[in-house]
Chains A and B, each alone.
Chain A
Amino acid sequence: MKTIWIKSCVLRSALVAALAFSVLNAAEVTADRLESAESEPENWLTYYGTYKAWRYSPLDQINRSNVKQLTPVWAFESGLDDGGMQSAPLVVDGVMYVSTAQNHVFALDAVTGEQIWRYQHELPDELPAVYGNWNRGVAIAYGIVYLGTLDNHVVALDAGTGREVWRVEVENSKQCGCNITSAPLIVKDMVITGVTGGDSAHRGYLNAFDAKTGRHRWRFWTIPGPGEPGHETWKGDSWKYGGGSTWITGTYDPELDLIFWGVGNPAADFYGESRKGDNLYTESVVALDADTGKLEWYYQEIPYDVWDYDAAYELVLLDIEVKGAQRKVIVNPNKSGYVWVLDRTNGAFLGAWPLVENSNWIEHIDDDGNLVGRNEPPVGKPTLICPAIGGGRSWNHGAYSPETGWFYSTGLEWCQTITVKPEEPREGMAFFGGEFQMTHPEGGTAYSHLGAYDPLTGKRHWQYRHKYPLLASQLATGGGLLFTGDATGRFIALDTKTGEELWSFRTGSGHRGSAVTFAVDGRQYVATPSGWGSALAGLTTQLWPETGSFPSGSSIFVFALP
């Protein structure tokens, strides 16, 4: 692979020679560069763009006034469409790194789309059945591209050649019923990886590895073991099988030197009797000392979850005024359809606001953060619960624009009938404790929306409605644009101030990944994954049967001005 690449470099133009230099340059992505990623908006260096997790770029060449001229420049098709395309590409100095379903990684010339190298992780025949075969992104630093795999390995690849440098098996994926689908996070000289397994009989964790050697640095168990504080919030042996996955990438505050991560639901998802208690640290945001992984603080959003919600989504870091004082906050949309706002220096509760109207799992959240009027489905009796297991929002990430000061997020208005059934844990096997069937809200039809919100109060400034669930991430830009995509394959640009749709392009398959923007030689590009097919894409067929024939895909489309 490398030989071919070098040969073509020799034969090709000066532009390609410059690209070769860029590849070398990519070796120089350092902790410093990651910490100041904002200062190089031409690159998309880390999963959320920067550690602030805004999914925002100040690039403004493409803007409200000219977005109608936006034109496709290249498209890349991986062919790996089972599971769709859920990734967020990284772009470093003219090279795009993108992972696909089935753990392939591609390095592409970000200007032409030409493939530089391809890596295929060899997978065993048998993988955990509950979690799909998709991947949501890679990380890059020190000349290495990092991938978490479907068989629960962390793999380090030479960024220049795609060849394996090291790999470590975190845990036997078949035994644990868990794997890695999220992008790793680079913090200083470490690579941090979460794990799925929240719907399996499994005890969750977060791991740190030495970025250069792969040696294990620390593990944070999301469920405290015997003798540790919080262990008493689990009944009997339930802590051994209590879920608490870390399935979405967290983030890091270099100033506080804290890693923040969201922890998912307890298992069994619906049947809680055998784990009666608060079930720490499931449904919590945890702040960990970056060097040791020791818990600095936590805030539990949903004690004793019996609905399969998750505090695992993005943790958006904002410095905003709260009651007259400047505060460092975290904005964390929870799968329950509420958005929590916490002080990130100490975990203090600052507020929580709803993203969706169809919500009956609780009546409301009081000023102290308590859940009021919990609607716990009883064993054996089918019970209508809103939002559905797919969430008041899916995992795909919102965006924050410093120009408007608003947080942009989707909301999903759908419900389900949960039937709780007692279930004993079987190590590594699915552990739901019941089943569900998707339903429309009472007296209405399920739909979704994308809105602009005050991140502290949830005051809504505009709303864009859609017939089908909006399941792609948002991307906000300095050009006043908000990019996202829909189930029918339309990639769209909205005005960040008004929500007006300004432009769209059909990419051929629905959107379930995270678009990014970057620039090479002064030209701004917008890149979006396209590829329907995921857990929720499957669930949509219960409410919208026609979505069952929406084509899957696994491509990247890149746009620029002519």
Chain B
Amino acid sequence: MMRVWLPCVPLVAAVLAISPAVAEERSINLLDDALIEGGSELFQMNCAVGYCHGSEGRSARGPALRDREWAARDLYRITHDGLSGTSMPAWKSVLSTEEIWAVTAYIMTLARNPVEAANALVSIEADAEGPRELTGAAKHGEELFFDLTRERRCGLCHRLGDKGTAVGPNLAVVAGEKTAEDLKRDIRQPGKLRAFGFELTEVSTRDGEVIRGVLADQSPAGVKIYDTSVLPPVLRTVPARALRRVRARNGRSPMPEGWESVYSDAEIGAIVAFLMAM
């Protein structure tokens, strides 16, 4: 229940839900020592940091949190959803429901109106979708797919979960229709791929430029196309007055070649294992 309140456990586990568990309602005690201690740890690593709320909520760029009057439910909601139009981000995809309540419990200890025993029990709805931990090759494949230490990587054009960029298709869907061998071949020989809905498109401009990639939008005002000739893809806007021609290339894929020089055979295998696990 009280998971991840040790600083060394990664809090941002891959949030890749498979089977949504049934939402479970239960109570927590905002005066629980372990809860507050866990919240203090989380606060120090996520909220106190450098330029935000400062050590023990003394303020930095963000407002001071201590010595003010708070309603625990408000703190929870603001932390969960963020404050639109301000620098306060939503934490719902980073921290679990329990963790946000733990942070709330901690902040309430700094407040001018600390929680009283009579109001300490709050009912919470636990996360409906528990984080899914990938293991083995699939886990390694996920790291490779989104590996920010590589200039070229799959995530530059494909989004899965909350990582990557959605230029190309959702590979969780694609993987559902293919075998592992198909996927390996697609990565090694993208030239042979048939790309339904994402076919290679050529946009020719009046000044003679040809932009090749994935069409993102077409309207009387002009077109938007992801130029995939060099990664990361560039979203180009070509207004109607500058447009000469838009031509789709028969279902050919715009996926660039050369992934065998980016990923080894074993690494491609791991990436496919990751996709098959989606």
Contact of A436 among B11, B55, B232 (CB under 8 A): B55
CB-nearest residue of chain A to B93 = A126
Contact of A535 among B61, B232, B233 (CB under 8 A): B61
- With a cutoff of 8 Å between Cβ atoms, the chain A residues found around residue B45 in the complex are 423, 429-430
Q: Does A278 contact B (CB under 8 A)?
A: no
Please determine whether B61 and A539 come into contact, CB atoms closer than 8 angstroms. Answer: yes
CB-nearest residue of chain B to A436 = B55
Q: Does A125 contact B (CB under 8 A)?
A: yes
Please determine whether B230 and A216 come into contact, CB atoms closer than 8 angstroms. Answer: yes
Please determine whether B62 and A82 come into contact, CB atoms closer than 8 angstroms. Answer: no
CB-nearest residue of chain B to A217 = B230
Q: How far is the CA of A166 from the CA of B225 in the complex (A)?
A: 9
- With a cutoff of 8 Å between Cβ atoms, the chain B residues found around residue A389 in the complex are 50
Please determine whether A167 and B51 come into contact, CB atoms closer than 8 angstroms. Answer: no
A203-B148 CB under 8 A given contacts A167-B235, A214-B236, A435-B44 = yes
Q: How far is the CA of A126 from the CA of B51 in the complex (A)?
A: 17
CB-nearest residue of chain B to A216 = B230
- With a cutoff of 8 Å between Cβ atoms, the chain B residues found around residue A125 in the complex are 82, 84, 89-90
- With a cutoff of 8 Å between Cβ atoms, the chain B residues found around residue A436 in the complex are 50, 55
Please determine whether B236 and A213 come into contact, CB atoms closer than 8 angstroms. Answer: yes
Please determine whether A168 and B11 come into contact, CB atoms closer than 8 angstroms. Answer: no
Q: Does B176 contact A (CB under 8 A)?
A: no
Smallest beta-carbon distance A460→chain B, Å? 30
- With a cutoff of 8 Å between Cβ atoms, the chain A residues found around residue B62 in the complex are 538
Please determine whether A435 and B148 come into contact, CB atoms closer than 8 angstroms. Answer: no
Which of A56-64, A172-180, A354-362, A502-510 forms part of the interface with chain B?
A: A172-180
Q: Does B168 contact A (CB under 8 A)?
A: no
Q: Does B99 contact A (CB under 8 A)?
A: no
A213-B52 CB under 8 A given contacts A125-B90, A427-B12 = no
For the residues of B in contact with A, the DSSP-based class is loop
Q: Does B229 contact A (CB under 8 A)?
A: yes
Interface residues on A, range: 35 or more
- With a cutoff of 8 Å between Cβ atoms, the chain B residues found around residue A539 in the complex are 51, 54, 60-61
Please determine whether A168 and B232 come into contact, CB atoms closer than 8 angstroms. Answer: yes
Please determine whether A214 and B234 come into contact, CB atoms closer than 8 angstroms. Answer: yes
Contact of B234 among A132, A166, A542 (CB under 8 A): A166
Please determine whether A215 and B54 come into contact, CB atoms closer than 8 angstroms. Answer: no
> Which residues in window 423-442 of A have CB below 8 A to B?
423-424, 426-430, 432, 435-437
A538-B60 CB under 8 A given contacts A133-B87, A429-B46 = yes
> When each residue 226-249 of chain B gets 1 if its CB lies under 8 Å from chain A and 0 otherwise, what string results?
010111111111010000000000
Q: Does B64 contact A (CB under 8 A)?
A: yes
Smallest beta-carbon distance B226→chain A, Å? 10
How many chain B residues touch A (Cβ–Cβ < 8 Å)? 51
Which of B102-110, B159-167, B260-268 forms part of the interface with chain A?
A: B159-167
- With a cutoff of 8 Å between Cβ atoms, the chain B residues found around residue A424 in the complex are 7-8, 10
Smallest beta-carbon distance A181→chain B, Å? 12
> Which residues in window 200-232 of A have CB below 8 A to B?
202-203, 209, 213-216, 219, 225
> Which one of B7, B229, B230 has the highest number of Cβ atoms from chain A below 10 Å of its Cβ?
B230
Smallest beta-carbon distance A230→chain B, Å? 15
Smallest beta-carbon distance B215→chain A, Å? 15
Q: Does B276 contact A (CB under 8 A)?
A: no
Please determine whether B11 and A199 come into contact, CB atoms closer than 8 angstroms. Answer: no
A130-B86 CB under 8 A given contacts A214-B227, A216-B230 = no
Smallest beta-carbon distance A491→chain B, Å? 23
Please determine whether A219 and B146 come into contact, CB atoms closer than 8 angstroms. Answer: no
Please determine whether A163 and B61 come into contact, CB atoms closer than 8 angstroms. Answer: no
Q: Does A38 contact B (CB under 8 A)?
A: no
Contact of B61 among A132, A428, A432 (CB under 8 A): A132
Q: How far is the CA of A430 from the CA of B54 in the complex (A)?
A: 13
> When each residue 112-138 of chain A gets 1 if its CB lies under 8 Å from chain B and 0 otherwise, what string results?
000000000000011111111100000
> When each residue 78-118 of chain B gets 1 if its CB lies under 8 Å from chain A and 0 otherwise, what string results?
00001011110110011000000000000000000000000
Q: Does B204 contact A (CB under 8 A)?
A: no
Q: How far is the CA of A203 from the CA of B147 in the complex (A)?
A: 11
A430-B162 CB under 8 A given contacts A175-B148, A423-B7 = no
- With a cutoff of 8 Å between Cβ atoms, the chain A residues found around residue B119 in the complex are none
Please determine whether B146 and A175 come into contact, CB atoms closer than 8 angstroms. Answer: yes
> When each residue 149-173 of chain A gets 1 if its CB lies under 8 Å from chain B and 0 otherwise, what string results?
0000000000000011111111110
Contact of B94 among A168, A199, A429, A432 (CB under 8 A): A429
Q: Does A269 contact B (CB under 8 A)?
A: yes
Q: Does A244 contact B (CB under 8 A)?
A: no
Contact of B52 among A129, A169, A422 (CB under 8 A): A129
Please determine whether A130 and B49 come into contact, CB atoms closer than 8 angstroms. Answer: yes
- With a cutoff of 8 Å between Cβ atoms, the chain B residues found around residue A308 in the complex are 50
Q: Does B19 contact A (CB under 8 A)?
A: no
Please determine whether B59 and A538 come into contact, CB atoms closer than 8 angstroms. Answer: yes
- With a cutoff of 8 Å between Cβ atoms, the chain A residues found around residue B237 in the complex are 163-166
Contact of A202 among B11, B12, B148, B209 (CB under 8 A): B148
Please determine whether A435 and B55 come into contact, CB atoms closer than 8 angstroms. Answer: yes
- With a cutoff of 8 Å between Cβ atoms, the chain A residues found around residue B77 in the complex are none
Q: Does A541 contact B (CB under 8 A)?
A: yes
Q: How far is the CA of A233 from the CA of B12 in the complex (A)?
A: 28
Please determine whether B64 and A548 come into contact, CB atoms closer than 8 angstroms. Answer: yes
Smallest beta-carbon distance B241→chain A, Å? 11
Contact of A176 among B85, B148, B227, B236 (CB under 8 A): B148
> When each residue 323-337 of chain A gets 1 if its CB lies under 8 Å from chain B and 0 otherwise, what string results?
000000000000000
Q: How far is the CA of A162 from the CA of B4 in the complex (A)?
A: 47
Please determine whether A167 and B90 come into contact, CB atoms closer than 8 angstroms. Answer: no
> Which one of B11, B60, B237, B239 has the highest number of Cβ atoms from chain A below 10 Å of its Cβ?
B60
Smallest beta-carbon distance B138→chain A, Å? 17
Q: Does B31 contact A (CB under 8 A)?
A: no
Please determine whether A203 and B149 come into contact, CB atoms closer than 8 angstroms. Answer: yes
Please determine whether B90 and A163 come into contact, CB atoms closer than 8 angstroms. Answer: no
Please determine whether B164 and A216 come into contact, CB atoms closer than 8 angstroms. Answer: no
- With a cutoff of 8 Å between Cβ atoms, the chain A residues found around residue B155 in the complex are 172, 175
Q: Does B181 contact A (CB under 8 A)?
A: no
> When each residue 9-23 of chain B gets 1 if its CB lies under 8 Å from chain A and 0 otherwise, what string results?
011100000000000
- With a cutoff of 8 Å between Cβ atoms, the chain B residues found around residue A426 in the complex are 10-12
Q: Does A537 contact B (CB under 8 A)?
A: yes
Smallest beta-carbon distance A201→chain B, Å? 10
Given A167-B234, A169-B232, A175-B155: 8 more A-B contacts, CB < 8 Å: A128-B89, A133-B86, A166-B237, A168-B235, A215-B227, A429-B94, A430-B50, A538-B59
The 9 closest A-B pairs by CB, nearest first: A538-B61, A214-B234, A535-B51, A430-B49, A215-B230, A535-B61, A538-B60, A435-B55, A168-B234
Q: Would you mind naming 14 contact pairs between A and B with Cβ atoms under 8 Å apart?
A: A130-B49, A168-B234, A169-B165, A171-B232, A172-B164, A199-B50, A203-B148, A213-B236, A426-B11, A429-B45, A435-B55, A437-B55, A539-B61, A541-B64
